[in-house]
Amino acid sequence: PDWLKERLIACGMRPINNVVDATNYVMLEFGQPLHPFDYDQIKSRHIIVRPAAEGEVLTTLDGVERKLSPDMLLITEPDRIIALAGVMGGENTEVTEKTSRILLESATFDKQSIRKTARGLKLQSEASARFEKGLSYELAPIALKRATQLILEIAGGQAASGLIDVLPNKKERNGIVLSLAKVNQILGYEKEPPDACKIAKRLGFIWLPEYVPGMEEFGYGATEDMVRIYPGYWRMDIETDIDMIEEVARIAGYHTIPCLPLDKAIPKIETPPLPGMKRFLRQILSGYGFQELISYSFTSREMLSRVSSGAEPEFLAISNPMSSEQEVMRTSLRPSLYASLAANRRFEKDGLRLYEFGRVYLPKENKKQEEPEMLCAVIAGGSSQSRWQRNTAGFDFFDVKGIVESMVSRLGLSADFVVSDEHGLSHGYQAGILVGDMPVGILGQVSPQTADKFDITEPVYMFEINLSKLITRAMVRRKFNPINRFPAVERDLALVIDRHITNRQVIDILSEYDLVKNAELFDMYQGKQIAENKKSLAYHLLFQSDTHTLKDEEVDGVMSQILGRLNTETGAVLRS
């Protein structure tokens, strides 16, 4: 009839014929799937429910031949399969316009079994979706009788007498023991609590007084407060006393629950330090003109090998990868940044600045792994927007070094740099990053060999910082220092020093003097006036005392000490 077809269409189902439509309609009414078989196609008149044998096949109603496994449940005759239990019927017993007699099945199957079958065959149906949630065995005969009534009403015919009911493991309903005192305790009622037994009766549940000796000592109140409630078969979600208490609150109305002040202060939520530091670093990098990149944690062996040394690196392999491009967990953020730089260069002629936060997955012994949070960034191209009237200078090593210094300084820390020999970076144009005595990262120019693997033809500079290490230093509580009210004295110091002596060695010596508040290198010279194996370094020094105004004699004395120590430890002399 039209009313039945219209209702099925409104519910998103396709009308098929009067018998099948009637079973589908009852399934929507009661939530109980049913399946009609063409009775004349069941030659043996004998139905068997059994697990599948390895290698058996069945052509289902959608016309697809499906290979079955032993963990799947079947509806069969002695010599052939006629349905996939709880999922879909077989094509060989389909109800058609020629069908004159039907066998109507209403069953309850194990929800785990049906779910595994549907997932294994990638065959989701309206029936399997309901069986997967779990159904009461009491619902099956009720839905069967309703479907029989509806079929007789719309298709005519005559119902055979009797009902074949097989219930091998009938479980007695234990009910739910509910303490009425606990209802009030959980919901906060002190005066005029709702009548839980009356609410259970309104829901169609059965309740009986319960006597459980000795329960008073567990805080459940007197034994006369205990009741045993048997939920209806249509409420399979009511499994514990807390479920029943939720129903009491729902029916009584949430507005009836007393609004009481908390008996203690709300616990303070401790925000993890790492997310806060990442938010702060995002603001800093955005201010420097960087754009954030977000990539997958999965990548390919080939991509990681582009930035790895010659030895075969270890990876954490994905057991069920979606594609060969997502077969392992990344051990570095560099490949995704280099690839994105190359891809974006086709659309951007000016400078590119990209960064990414993310975890990397480093295999360790005993099937364990280390998962540090990393920050990696790359810069390439012009350091400012190009203009037709002038050429734009490109980024260099000192640009990326300055970014790292400034970023670490904003965290209240000081970064030092040491010579490094990192694979994938150009020799002589790279440095390790230290915070205190802890190595936290690397910076430098990407080597031409590595850049070529990503089709990059321009100089690229990068830095990489281990945030999991950096956060341990950034969390150290910093002390407030009041502004010094005494004037500072400025002096310049020009030294002639051996070429192998680094600026860091000189700065370390200068910083050990309390009156030297700041030392800044402002000039380096190598040329005709200097010996071939020497260089000139010029520093701007700031002297200041926390207790008094400095006199020239004090500053001169410290300068003499500095020169003497520099000469002793580095061979430095004052440039004439």
Half-sphere exposure of residue 166: CA atoms within 13 angstroms, side-chain side: 7
Tokens of 470: 């950096």
The CATH number for 273-474, chosen from 3.50.50.60, 3.40.47.10, 3.30.360.10, 3.30.930.10, is 3.30.930.10
CB atoms within 10 A of CB 528: 5
Q: Which residues of 415-442 are buried (b: 16+ CB within 10 A; e: fewer)?
A: bbbeebebebbbeebbbbbbbeeeebbb
Q: Name, in order, each residue with C-beta under 8 angstroms of 214's C-beta and a sequence gap of 6 or more.
A: none
Give the contacts of 390 (CB within 8 A, at least 6 positions apart). Answer: none
Domain ranges of the chain: 2-155, 176-256, 273-474, 489-574
Q: Give the CATH fold of the 176-256 domain.
A: Phenylalanyl-tRNA Synthetase; Chain B, domain 1 (3.30.56)
Which DSSP state fits 373? E
- The reported pLDDT for the residue numbered 419 is 87
Give the pLDDT of residue 222.
46
**For domain 2-155, which architecture applies?**
3-Layer(bba) Sandwich (3.50)
Q: How far is CA 40 from CA 45, 61, 62, 409, 545, in A?
A: 9, 17, 21, 85, 107
- Paired with 83 in beta bridges are 75, 89
Identify the H or E element spanning 230: strand 226-230
d(Cα 455, Cα 260) in Å, to the nearest integer? 66
Please state, in angstroms and rounded to a whole number, the distance separating the CA atoms of residues 136 and 30. Answer: 11
pLDDT for the residue numbered 221? 47
Residue 248: φ, ψ to 5° = -60, -45
Distance of alpha carbon 334 from alpha carbon 340, whole angstroms: 10
Strands, DSSP E only, in 175-225? 176-179, 206-209
CB contact at 8 A, 333 and 349:
no
C-alpha–C-alpha distance, residues 463 and 460, integer Å: 10
What beta strand segments (E) does 381-530 contain? 415-419, 425-435, 438-446, 460-466, 489-498, 516-525
**566 within 8 A of 572, measured Cβ to Cβ:** yes
Report H helices in 414-551: 448-453, 467-474, 503-510
At 228, list the tokens: 């045993």
3-state secondary structure of 82: strand
Third-level CATH fold of 489-574: Alpha-Beta Plaits (3.30.70)
Q: Are 467 and 371 spatial neighbours (Cβ–Cβ below 8 Å)?
A: no
3 within 8 A of 73, measured Cβ to Cβ: no
Low-confidence ranges of the chain (pLDDT < 50): 221-222
From residue 447, give the alpha-carbon distance in Å to each of 121, 458, 460.
Answer: 50, 10, 8
Residues 6+ away with beta carbon under 8 Å from 231: 176, 203, 205, 238, 244
Q: So what's the pLDDT on residue 366? A: 66
Among residues 562, 541, 553, which one has the least CA distance to residue 490? 541
Backbone angles phi, psi at 12, to 5 degrees: 85, 20
